[in-house]
Amino acid sequence: MNITVIGCGRWGSLIAWYLDRIGHRVTLYGRAGSSHMERFLESRSNDLLTLPPSVALSTDLEEAIGSDVILIAVGAQSLRTLAQQLAGQGIHNKKVVLCMKGLEKETGLRLTQIVESFLPDDNQTAVWLGPGHVQEFYAGIPNCMVIDSRDRDVKKELVEAFSSDLIRFYYGQDLIGNEIGAASKNVIGIAAGMLDGMGYVTLKGPLISRGTREISRLIAAAGGSELSAYGLCHLGDYEATVFSPYSHNRQYGEAFVRGVPYDSLAEGRDTSAALMILSSHLGVELPICRTVYSVLFEGLDPRLGMEMLLRRPLKNEF
């Protein structure tokens, strides 16, 4: 395949490296002046990986989108602006694959909903989701991920083209559930980091159990399958988010509780705000996500938030 990856951060650059590794023709696009792209143009490296000469580098969006397949790996809150730019380029008959996890903070929209509101109907959208960290993939440690799309032919083509000994892809069966599940697991990751910061590590068990149940109800109310919360895009991604030292969301939650500055992107922060919109719109109670939001945006003391969760009315487990 002739592929362009838009977004030259840690995940976009890993995707470019991976797709080149399995034999595709890959161009990595980054904005002119981007510090990430400047490093690649200068040395073809960042702090995590080195791109081989076979990966083309571009700062020309019009040139970059000439590929048949466009993969997008940018911050979720930047997607609307990028989608507007792509629409202005007159994109047609492309496979657009979203390789990021989030919901729009101001609207609660899923990322495919944003892209599809701007691009013509002759483009097909898909998502690439699931567990894994750049450091582990680059070191040759395999994992399993998911590709989902409403278009079965596109989904089949992408899974077959992208699968390898390093990443085993599964065919997603629930676009709504997988998008919401992937986005919300970052909020659970922040909660896990807060537990680490408070020294309540043993509560990660209840967090995993109750967090998954909470999100399963939300997915069902949004029109997806409850089972998706127990798949690779949510529960299957918990190890990489709730426990891993590489998880930005877990690190952010821990740093927040300890009052330590944290400068890296933690998508779960804005996703918690988006989930409050969905909670209100769909009439689904999200006690864990609500607590994370209240701590981050409303000044709730994290320890008091934990006490409030533990004092909730007693109920059946399921």
Neighbours of 227 (CB within 10 A): 13
Same domain as 89, residue 49:
yes
Band of residue 209 on the pLDDT scale cut at 50, 70, 90: very high
**Is residue 296 a part of any domain in this protein?**
yes
Place of tokens 């380029």: 89
* Residue 316 confidence (pLDDT): 79
Same domain as 161, residue 67:
yes
CATH number at residue 156: 3.40.50.720
Same domain as 238, residue 132:
no
Band of residue 166 on the pLDDT scale cut at 50, 70, 90: very high
pTM listed for this prediction: 0.96
Q: What angle do CA 36, 40, 42 make, to 5 degrees?
A: 115
* Residue 271 confidence (pLDDT): 98
Residue 119 has pLDDT above 90, yes or no: yes
Same domain as 144, residue 6:
yes
Band of residue 175 on the pLDDT scale cut at 50, 70, 90: very high
Same domain as 107, residue 204:
no
Pick the last residue of a domain from 171, 187, 222. Answer: 171
Q: pLDDT digits over 254-280, tens only?
A: 999 999 999 999 999 999 999 999 999
Same domain as 305, residue 198:
yes
Per-residue pLDDT averaged across 138-147, rounded? 97
**Is residue 318 a part of any domain in this protein?**
no
Number of domains forming the structure of the chain: 2
Pick the last residue of a domain from 171, 193, 213. Answer: 171
3-state secondary structure of 71: strand
CATH number at residue 225: 1.10.1040.10
Same domain as 304, residue 194:
yes
3-state secondary structure of 97: strand
Same domain as 107, residue 237:
no
Same domain as 60, residue 25:
yes
Residue 122 has pLDDT above 80, yes or no: yes
Same domain as 131, residue 257:
no
* Residue 2 confidence (pLDDT): 97
**Is residue 317 a part of any domain in this protein?**
no
For 92, the token pair is 């047609």
In angstroms, the CA 177 to CA 221 distance is: 10
* Residue 318 confidence (pLDDT): 72
**Is residue 89 a part of any domain in this protein?**
yes
Closest-CA residue to 229 (of 242, 201, 252, 210): 210
Residue 105 has pLDDT above 90, yes or no: yes
Q: What angle do CA 186, 16, 164 make, to 5 degrees?
A: 85
**Is residue 315 a part of any domain in this protein?**
no
Same domain as 79, residue 34:
yes
Band of residue 43 on the pLDDT scale cut at 50, 70, 90: very high
Same domain as 199, residue 144:
no
Pick the last residue of a domain from 145, 171, 197. Answer: 171
3-state secondary structure of 260: coil
3-state secondary structure of 74: coil
Q: Give the range of the structural domain holding residue 131, as residue numbers without chain letter.
A: 2-171
**Is residue 110 a part of any domain in this protein?**
yes
Q: pLDDT digits over 71-90, tens only?
A: 999 999 999 999 999 999 98
* Residue 115 confidence (pLDDT): 97
Task: Look up residue 232 and give its amino acid.
Answer: L
> How big is the chain by its Cα radius of gyration, in Å?
19
Task: Look up residue 135 and give its amino acid.
Answer: Q
**Is residue 12 a part of any domain in this protein?**
yes
**Is residue 77 a part of any domain in this protein?**
yes
Look over the chain and give the mean of its residue pLDDT values, rounded to a whole number: 96
Residue 315 has pLDDT above 90, yes or no: no
Q: Look up 101 and say whether it is catalytic.
A: no
Give percent of the chain above pLDDT 90: 96
Q: pLDDT digits over 236-260, tens only?
A: 999 999 999 999 999 999 999 999 9
Q: Is there a contact between 55 and 26 (Cβ–Cβ < 8 Å)?
A: yes
Per-residue pLDDT averaged across 212-220, rounded? 98
Residue of 95, 101, 105, 185 with catalytic role:
185
